[in-house]
């Protein structure tokens, strides 16, 4: 009887775990994850395809002012990055 009871408990526990795992995997990934939020902010806040680059400036590696709109005449691949 004891063996039967513990076997029933084990089966029930495994079923609960199984259902929990299934439910957990069935949940969609939270829409507000940091990566998703970066992507949606980027889509909203960057120039659209076909638009000119904004008229803003930074600096070249020697500290001389550099205008983004000077990137003309050839194809340019512009990549953002940093040390970390």
Q: Is residue 51 close enough to count as binding another protein by CB under 8 A?
A: yes
- If one counts every other C-beta atom within 10 angstroms of the C-beta of residue 66, the result is 13
**52 touches another protein by CB under 8 A:** yes
- What are the Cα distances from residue 32, in Å, to 12, 27, 63? 35, 14, 38
Q: Name the one range near another protein by CB under 8 A: 9-17, 20-28, 55-63.
A: 55-63
Mark the segment that binds another protein (CB under 8 A) among 3-11, 12-20, 24-32, 73-81: 73-81
Rounded CA separation 2/8 (Å): 10
Instruction: By CB under 8 A, name the binding residues for another protein.
Output: 38-39, 41-54, 56-63, 66, 68-69, 71-84
């Amino acid at each position: 009887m004891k063996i039967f009871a513990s076997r029933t408990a084990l089966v029930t526990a495994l079923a609960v775990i199984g259902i929990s795992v299934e439910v957990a995997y069935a949940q969609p990934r939270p829409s507000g994850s940091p990566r998703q939020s970066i992507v949606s902010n980027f889509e909203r806040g960057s120039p659209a395809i076909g638009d000119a680059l904004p008229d803003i400036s930074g600096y070249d590696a020697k500290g001389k002012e550099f205008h983004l709109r000077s990137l003309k005449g050839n194809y340019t691949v512009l990549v953002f990055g940093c040390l970390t």
